[in-house]
Amino acid sequence: MARINSNTELEELRQEILSKRDQNKPRIAVCAGTGCLASGAAKVIAALKEEIKKQGLNADVDIKETGCPGFCERGPIMVIYPEEICYLQVKPDDIPEIISETIKERKVIDRLLYTDPTTGEKVTHESEIPFYKNQKRLLIGTNINIDPKSIEDYLAIGGYRALAKALFDMTPEQVLEEVKRANLRGRGGGGFPAAKKWETTRNVPREPKYVIVNADEGDPGAFMDRAVLEGNPHSVLEGLVISAYTIGSHEGFIYVRQEYPLAVENVDIAIKQAEEYGFLGQNILGSGFDFIVNVHRGAGAFVSGESSALMTAIEGKVGEPRPKYIRTAVSGIWERPSNLNNVETLANVPLIINNGAEWFTSIGTEGSKGTKIFSLVGKVNNTGLVEVPMGMSLREIIYNIGGGIPGDKKFKAVQTGGPSGGVIPEQYLDTPVDFDELTKLGSMMGSGGMIVMDEDTCVVDVARYFVDFLCDESCGKCIPCREGLKHMREVLNNIVEGKGNEGDIELLEELSRLMTKASLCALGTSAANPVSTTIRYFGDEYQAHIKESKCPALVCKELVSYYIEPSKCQACMICLRNCPVEAISGGKNQIHVIDQAKCIKCGVCFDACPTRFGAVIKISGEPVPASLPEKERSLVRGKK
Amino acid sequence: MNNGQEELLLLLQKAQNEFGYLSEESVAELAKSLALPISDIYGVATFYSFLSTKPLGRNVIRICKSMPCYLKNCQIIIDTVEKEIGIKPGETTPDGKFSFQLTNCIGACDKAPAMMINSDVYDDLTPGKISEILKACK
């Protein structure tokens, strides 16, 4: 491929690519993102290639290995074009039928379609599945149409048009103005206006300047950036080059976490291709603008996702934050002006340049424009990635898109914003999701993790979990974060073990205030959020743990006992055989009893007892009833 | 200013890939070539969870213990792996086949519980799947 040297050449190439593509030719797209690969997509793709060869259809069908379309719960996902037939949970054994029936005969295979759980109806087309129908997928909607390893696929959907427009039709000032008017706010968690950052770095009278992509996504429960980088790496590169042009930077960095090998691979390929085609390197598209980009791979450190820490990590030092009396936008990598944006923020930039700020601001709420990708995980039916306009309510996201809570359980809370965010209870489910509304509730939008919890989740245990996570990941540089978290962990451990004291809640609140005020970086100042929000919304559960030694959700091991209800026990011996410590006595026709002194509370009996009996129950906060005397333990079976 | 130090993390990752861990010798060598104190190299080497100054097994198992995996009972997966290979998190089997670690979010929450073995992700885990996955490791 020869380098492209002008806007005209780019459009000619695009036309050439499009003219070679027959829109009516059957095309089978299979998600080859991390989620689907782990569920066996590679075997499906291999079977597909083999079957097509076997049936002599090589010239008649295209196969596309794409990025993540989001419905990870039902992977591997396959979409067959031009009809847009969507098959879910496809297995290699299904392939011969798919080729013979759907490709050759144009017949839809019912069993592979999505079934609407409420109506029982089958849904044929991808866009009609409720999970997708209620989304607005500007960023991840095209993933299923492109092979992330093919720059031609990106060009076919209009890729790099925004870059050409910025370079040839706009001055850097005009680009800046457009992004400013679009009010694009940082998707990594902070929600800081991107154009403001760009402007700061741009105005510093020092060279060189750097631009950085933060792809060190580490919030537990968040994988939006992974999907964008894996599925459409060119969109991020395009956004990055546009930001560099605006700021006047000629060198950029992409910092990707080690845990995302496929993202690293696809980004590396994308950079090579972009250099070859002339979207990166010297004299980009013949415009006279130069820009190169380097990929840095992290090595597993949550705190390195913080902007100043990430820049220190790029310098090759320990990836710890530094005080930001002077912003990194002014003095970042090697004390040079450095602009850092999140993956998703940059992926929005080409859309804004192509469609204009008016279009972008028509989506979303007053203060938060555009869409946001969330990773919906935890106790929710449809886990996966969802992209919605800002302002959609939590209820719509969790119920209309997420399909509600599995197994008739009750919703309890949703954790947003990862370890820096908070836990939001049911009464706020109608809150519109945007940067400002979630902050008002003591949580934050954060990078977009949404962990749904049902009634079987103990919020004190959740708070302890997050504090434990942060203890692990705190870099230890500043005392409030390092010691505050440790102290919190100690108090929370006591509470969940039933050793809580009067005054513990107040102590936790005091520690929260201190950490929020005095920590060095944003991760430290927000570290107490999971604790303070759970106290704020679920204070009674803390009280129950401390005062009554009771875990209302029946989770905290030390506060729960297992007991077999004599009236329900059918003496089936299942629990007895499964108990790892032989704590259950009984026999055929003899009601089983748990020896509380031997019981290690592993819960195996609870899980093993057939649901139709439901004889094993959990008890918390009250004494375990005395076991039946030996002579009353013979089982009297009712008449059939 | 940059004296090549920006290459440090990359060089450490390379050394670890080649030798399986960061030996005293490789750290000393790096210190010399970058003209940095050994303590600085160790500072970086011990900061990141994917770098190790102790020898690791051929297959490094990292089970995610983050919230979404925790909610989907990753404990039973941890217990199963412990039982199958006979070591606890943080340890390496005497034959050098497995190292076992717990890790924070690996971004596979859509199908929790999940784990990584070297750079491959395995998700939607059940105790039943573990022995098959481990058997396939060489």
Q: Nearest CA to B59 among B117, B103, B129, B116?
A: B117
The domain that contains B78 carries what CATH number?
Answer: 3.40.30.10
CB contact under 8 A, B121 and A38: yes
Predicted pLDDT at A418: 82
All structural domains of chain A with their residue ranges: 7-133, 195-346, 371-454, 459-547, 560-639
Give mean pLDDT in consecutive 10-residue pieces for chain A, a chain of 640 residues: 90 95 91 87 94 90 91 90 94 94 92 89 92 93 93 96 97 97 92 95 96 91 91 97 98 93 94 97 96 92 87 90 87 94 97 97 95 93 93 95 92 90 94 92 88 93 92 90 96 95 96 94 90 95 95 93 93 91 90 93 90 94 88 71
What would the DSSP string read from start to end of A125-180? BGGGSHHHHT---SSSTTGGG--TT-HHHHHHTTTTHHHHIIIII--HHHHHHHHH
DSSP string covering A577-596: HH-TT--EEEETTEEEEE-T
* A457: closest chain B residue by CA: B71
Q: Which residues contact A615 (CB under 8 A, 6 or more apart)?
A: A564, A565, A568, A569, A570, A592, A609
Domain A371-454 has what CATH class? Answer: alpha beta
Question: Residue B1 — pLDDT band, cuts 50, 70, 90?
Answer: very low
Using only C-alpha atoms, what is the Rg of chain A?
28
Give the CATH architecture of domain A7-133.
Answer: 3-Layer(aba) Sandwich (3.40)
Q: Do B105 and A34 touch (CB under 8 A)?
A: no
Task: Answer yes or no: do B105 and B40 share one domain.
Answer: no
| Mean of per-residue pLDDT scores for chain B | 90
**Min CA distance, B118 vs chain A (Å)?**
10
Check whether residue B102 and residue B73 sit in a common domain. Answer: yes
Q: Give the pLDDT of residue A638.
A: 60
Question: Are residues B14 and B37 part of one domain?
Answer: yes
DSSP B6: G
Note the pLDDT of residue A442: 86
Shared domain check, B32 and B69: no
The verdict on residue B120 lying in a domain is yes
Q: Are residues B65 and B22 in the same domain?
A: no
The domain total for chain B is: 2
pLDDT tens, position by position, A431-452: 999 999 999 998 888 888 899 9
Q: Are residues B72 and B133 in the same domain?
A: yes
Q: Are residues B7 and B68 in the same domain?
A: no
The verdict on A223 touching B (C-beta cutoff 8 Å) is: yes
pLDDT, residue A640, reads 45
The answer to whether A600 faces chain B, any CB pair under 8 Å, is no
Interface membership of A312 toward B (CB under 8 Å): no
Which residues 63-82 of B are in CB contact (within 8 Å) with A? 66-68, 70-72
Cβ A477 vs Cβ A317: under 8 Å: no
Of the residues A259, A454, A456, the best mutation for testing chain B's interface (the one with the most B CB atoms within 10 Å of its CB) is A259
Evaluate if residue B46 carries a pLDDT over 60.
yes
Chain A contact for B119, CB < 8 A? yes
Residue B113 inside a domain? The answer is yes
Chain A contact for B50 (CB, 8 A cutoff): yes
- What pLDDT, on the 0 to 100 scale, is given for residue A494? 96
Query: A195-346 — its CATH code?
Result: 3.40.50.11540
Asked if A317 and B44 come within 8 Å (Cβ–Cβ), the reply is yes
Residue in B43, B109, B111 nearest the CB of A221: B109
Please state whether the predicted TM-score (pTM) of the whole model is above 0.80: yes
Same domain, B92 and B37: no
What is the signed CA dihedral for A350, A352, A354, A360, rounded to 10 degrees?
A: 140
Answer whether residue B2 shows pLDDT above 60.
Answer: no
Rounded distance between C-alpha atoms, residue A79 and residue A82, angstroms: 9
Q: Which of A377, A454, A471 best tests the B interface by mutation, with the highest count of B CBs <10 A?
A: A377
pLDDT in tens, A290-314: 999 999 998 888 888 888 999 999 9
Does domain A560-639 fall under CATH 3.30.70.20? My reply is yes
Q: Which of B48, B50, B67 sits opposite A221 (nearest CB)?
A: B67
pLDDT per residue as tens digits for the range A384-408: 999 999 999 999 999 999 999 998 8
Contact B10 A462 (CB under 8 A): no
| The predicted structure's pLDDT at residue A633 | 84
Tell if the CB–CB gap between A466 and B67 is shorter than 8 Å. Answer: yes
Residues B127 and B76 in one domain: yes
Q: The domain containing residue B105 runs over which residues?
A: 59-137
Asked, for residue B54, whether it belongs to a domain, the answer is no
Q: What is the pLDDT of residues A494-525, one digit of tens each?
A: 999 999 999 999 999 999 999 999 999 888 99
Q: Note the pLDDT tens digit of each residue in B11-36.
A: 999 999 888 899 999 999 999 999 99
Domain check: are B73 and B104 in the same one? yes
Provide, as residue numbers in chain B, all residues whose Cβ is less than 8 Å from the Cβ of A222: 105, 107, 109
Q: Say if residue B97 is in the same domain as residue B40.
A: no
Protein fold of A459-547? de novo design (two linked rop proteins) (1.20.1440)
Separation CA A291–CA A497 (nearest Å): 57
Residue among B5, B8, B107 minimizing CB distance to A260: B107
pLDDT for the residue A253: 96
Enclosing H/E stretch for B10: helix B8-19
Residue B128 inside a domain? The answer is yes
Chain B nearest-CA distance from A565, in A, is 25
- Judge whether A141 is closer than 8 Å to chain B, CB to CB: no
CB of A448 within 8 Å of a chain B CB? The answer is no
Q: Does A453 touch chain B (CB under 8 A)?
A: yes
- Helix or strand or coil: residue A604? helix
Has residue B52 been placed in a domain? no
Distance CA A28, CA A61 (A): 7
B9 and B67 assigned to the same domain = no
Q: With an 8 Å Cβ cutoff, is B112 touching chain A?
A: yes
B13: number of CA atoms within 13 Å, CB side? 16
